[in-house]
Structure 1
Amino acid sequence: MWVRADRERCISGGRCMAATSDVFDQDDDGIVVVLVPRPAPQQQERVRRAAFLCPAQAIQISEEPPPG
C-alpha cells in the first residue's frame, strides 16, 4: 500500500491524524502531512479508515508507488 495526501484539498479536519497519528500529522497551518508513505501491514486498516473519514477526500491509497 502507498498513501499520499492532496494538500490542496485538505480542509484541516484532523480526522486522518486522529485515526492514525503514526502515519499522518498536520503542519503549522493544520494541513495534512504524510509521515509514512508506505504504511506497514499493521497500519493499513487505520489508513483506510483515515481515508474514509476525510471530509475533503484528500487522502489517496494505491497499490502502486506514486509517479515521480
Structure 2
Amino acid sequence: MTAARAWVGDLVRDGSGTRAIVTDVRACGTVWVLRPQVGNGPHWETDDPDTLEIIARRGDHDGP
C-alpha cells in the first residue's frame, strides 16, 4: 500500500462521483471492494484504485 492509494476503511469518491467506504482489497491487491458511505446498499468493485479520490483516511471520518 502506498500513501496515495485508498485502503480498507478509507472514505473515497469513486470515478462516478459516489462517496463510498473501502471494505476490502482482494486478489493480492488488484480489486478494491466499496460500499455506500451510509447504509447497507449494494457493494461494488474497482480494479483501478487510481480512480478513487481519498476524502478521509480510516479513523479521520469516524464520529466521536
| Fold agreement, TM-score > 0.5 | no
TM-score, reference length from structure 2: 0.31
More strand by share: 2
Instruction: Give the helix-richer structure, 1 or 2.
Output: 1
Q: Larger relative contact order (C-alpha < 8 A, sep ≥ 6)?
A: 1
Q: TM-score, normalised by structure 1?
A: 0.30
